[in-house]
A = this chain, B = another copy of it.
Amino acid sequence: MIARDRSDVVIVGGVAAGPKTGAVLARRNPSLSIVLFQKDHYISYGSCGLPYFASGEVSVFSSLTKTSYGVERTPEFFRNTKGFDVVTDAEVIAINPDNKTVTVKSCKDESIHVHGYSNLVIATGARPKVPPFPVPQSPVVRYFTKPEDAIDFRRLSEKGRIGSLAIVGGGYIGCEMAEAATVWGFDTTLIEREPQVLPGGFDPEMALHAQRELERNGIRVLTGAAVKEITLRNEKPVIQVDTAGEIEVDYVILSLGVVPESELARRCGLALGEREGILVDEKMRTSDPAIYAGGDCVEQINGITGKRSFLPLGSLANRHGRVIAENIAGGAAVFRGVLGAALVKVCDKNMGCVGLTEKAARNEGISVQCVWGGFGDRPDYYPDAKGMVLKMVYDGTSGRLLGLQAAGEGDILRRIDVFSAMLRRNGVVDDLIDLEHGYAPPYSEAMDPLHHLASMAQAKKRGLSMLPPCSASSGYPGLMGAAGMVWLDVRENHQFSETKIPQYGSEKVIQIPLNMLRGRLGELDRDCEYVIMCGYGARAYQAWSILCNAGFKKIHVAGAGIAGAAL
């Protein structure tokens, strides 16, 4: 296993936070003896890349275990290049804080060793949530969290053994695996208990863009659908869904989310939080000052609410590792709260979020305001300009920025990252106005989408009324009928004829191109309540301004126009 029976630093867990801690620490203080125990065979693999190996887009598994210069990350690699010891197939089965030792079991020969430490680092990650329904033992009903899961899926896919697939859980992994299924061309059903996919980081009307994209790619998406049980019939999985009856498939992926793998910590008496994550201070230190923890096994402070939360994200794990190493090396690094910046590719749609959703902000009792906008990611005249829809959540009283959600084929990445940087500094709406973004026609418009969102938020202060995008999930048709509102579509005539809006339903629709609106105000009934619709939301905003100045009182803009409707 390893010659010595004591190390200055013992690290438990070898995927992200663990190896990062070891590597930074060995560089910062090469005189320390460091050993990392990893219970699995694989170590420091790109776990976020598993769906792309499953889909075949990453052709060989070893790509995930190699450095960018093609060297395999083996225990020898860590010894020679990174300067610390790694023992794989070695499970830490107990932590003994009183005498500062860990008990390690070899997964090969079952032998037991005791290893001493001065500092211990727990980086045990997360494990799949136990489903709230019966699940049979079967090689074709699997979680998707380990390399073996991806390898098995890929092997069966290549052999043509999967014709039909069910994915239970429409979070990040569920959506990524649904995309993988479209690459293989499987007959796929995605089942999500919540009324929307991606419920963690997105509000319903934004998540709808991902759902529609999956549907466009042939996936059957069942939202608001609870699995009652999974059984086997002639070894084939059969899923009972409350809203859809029985579904028989060749393979089932369970992606219901994860919980912190904190059992070792709990057993040795470390303080855990409500979500079973290990509690750490801003130095990533647990309730035992000699023990640090990082990665998906800890609870973190939400940088916006100040409350504890559980956000298993690979980028955070790596940053935790750095902070832990720095502190053990004698520095004074702190990990500031998490903001929840996350991206997920769903076929051709880029989905991104950071901060609080509207839903989450309302739950915090904040006086939430939202604006939505549809944008091109570069000038319309430049070839291959792509669209996106953004939703900004902010505090209507203080103007404090709370969150941004993005969906579309366009470049959402810049906006998520910039918004994240602003959230970190407790930015307000007006700060967005001061953003100096990089501009050139191949990359962007002269005004950034974030500038426009800020202008809309300012306009709301002056009376602009914006309604959520008229997506199926925003409950519009009912609203329209109930309130007797009238749609005012200000697109050009040819656009109006070409793109029909199913959400209009049987409601009254008046179409006047924006350019003619001033001259045709007489056609509108001042007692009516109007919802103004256009392509991206910009013309509707302009029309609102014209109507408002003409004395109309009950007028609303449909946020993000048709782009927001996720047709």
Q: Do residues A446 and B382 form an inter-chain contact, with CB atoms below 8 A?
A: no
A523 in the interface (beta carbon within 8 A): no
Across-interface contacts of A81 in B (CB, < 8 A): 514-515, 542
A336 in the interface (beta carbon within 8 A): yes
Q: A433-B322, A436-B354, A441-B46 are in contact. Are A58 and B381 (CB under 8 A)?
A: yes
A49 in the interface (beta carbon within 8 A): yes
* Segment of A100-108, A223-231, A270-278, A420-428 engaged in the interface with chain B: A420-428
Number of copies: 2
A244 in the interface (beta carbon within 8 A): no
Query: Among residues 532 to 550 in chain A, which have CB atoms less than 8 Å away from a CB atom of chain B?
Result: 534-536, 538-539, 542, 545-546, 549
1/0 contact string of A44-79 vs chain B (CB within 8 Å) = 001011001000011000011010111100001100
Report the nearest B residue to A68, measured CB to CB.
B380
Across-interface contacts of A517 in B (CB, < 8 A): 80
Across-interface contacts of A514 in B (CB, < 8 A): 80-81
Across-interface contacts of A431 in B (CB, < 8 A): 424
A504 in the interface (beta carbon within 8 A): no
1/0 contact string of A238-268 vs chain B (CB within 8 Å) = 0000000000000000000000000000000
Q: Do residues B345 and A440 form an inter-chain contact, with CB atoms below 8 A?
A: yes
Shortest Cβ gap from A141 to chain B (Å): 26
Query: Among residues 436 to 450 in chain A, which have CB atoms less than 8 Å away from a CB atom of chain B?
Result: 436-444, 446-448
Q: Do residues B436 and A316 form an inter-chain contact, with CB atoms below 8 A?
A: yes
Across-interface contacts of A345 in B (CB, < 8 A): 440, 442-443
Shortest Cβ gap from A520 to chain B (Å): 10
Q: A52-B382, A58-B382, A383-B57 are in contact. Are A413 and B443 (CB under 8 A)?
A: yes
1/0 contact string of A374-400 vs chain B (CB within 8 Å) = 001001111100000000000000000
Q: A342-B439, A443-B350 are in contact. Are A80 and B383 (CB under 8 A)?
A: no
Across-interface contacts of A316 in B (CB, < 8 A): 436
Across-interface contacts of A126 in B (CB, < 8 A): none
**With A and B bound together, what is the CA distance between A145 and B535 in angstroms?**
32
A344 in the interface (beta carbon within 8 A): yes
Q: Which of A63, A436, A517 has the most CB of B within 10 A?
A: A436
A339 in the interface (beta carbon within 8 A): yes
Shortest Cβ gap from A553 to chain B (Å): 16
**With A and B bound together, what is the CA distance between A447 and B323 in angstroms?**
13
A136 in the interface (beta carbon within 8 A): no
A314 in the interface (beta carbon within 8 A): yes
A453 in the interface (beta carbon within 8 A): no
**With A and B bound together, what is the CA distance between A141 and B404 in angstroms?**
49
Report the nearest B residue to A387, measured CB to CB.
B68
**With A and B bound together, what is the CA distance between A352 and B436 in angstroms?**
13
**With A and B bound together, what is the CA distance between A234 and B257 in angstroms?**
76
**With A and B bound together, what is the CA distance between A381 and B57 in angstroms?**
9
Shortest Cβ gap from A391 to chain B (Å): 15
Across-interface contacts of A343 in B (CB, < 8 A): 438-440, 442-444
Across-interface contacts of A63 in B (CB, < 8 A): 380-381
**With A and B bound together, what is the CA distance between A405 and B380 in angstroms?**
27
Shortest Cβ gap from A184 to chain B (Å): 16
Q: Do residues B315 and A437 form an inter-chain contact, with CB atoms below 8 A?
A: yes
1/0 contact string of A449-469 vs chain B (CB within 8 Å) = 001000100000000000000
A209 in the interface (beta carbon within 8 A): no
A492 in the interface (beta carbon within 8 A): yes
Report the nearest B residue to A331, measured CB to CB.
B458
Across-interface contacts of A68 in B (CB, < 8 A): 376, 379-380, 535-536, 538
Q: A16-B446, A421-B418, A441-B46 are in contact. Are A436 and B338 (CB under 8 A)?
A: yes
A14 in the interface (beta carbon within 8 A): no
Report the nearest B residue to A179, measured CB to CB.
B442
Across-interface contacts of A342 in B (CB, < 8 A): 438-440
Partner-B contacts on A (CB < 8 A): 16, 27, 30, 46, 48-49, 52, 57-58, 63-64, 66, 68-71, 76-77, 80-83, 172, 303, 313-319, 322, 333, 336, 338-345, 350, 352, 354, 376, 379-383, 411, 413-414, 416-418, 420-422, 424-425, 431, 433-444, 446-448, 451, 455, 491-492, 495, 514-519, 534-536, 538-539, 542, 545-546, 549
Report 17 cross-chain contacts, Cβ distance below 8 Å, ordered by A residue: A46-B441, A49-B379, A52-B381, A64-B381, A66-B380, A69-B491, A69-B492, A71-B515, A82-B542, A318-B446, A339-B436, A341-B437, A342-B438, A342-B439, A417-B435, A421-B421, A421-B422
Known pairs A70-B492, A322-B433, A336-B434 / 17 extra A-B pairs, C-beta < 8 Å: A30-B549, A49-B379, A52-B441, A68-B376, A76-B515, A81-B515, A81-B542, A83-B518, A83-B546, A314-B446, A315-B437, A315-B439, A317-B446, A319-B447, A342-B438, A413-B413, A414-B417
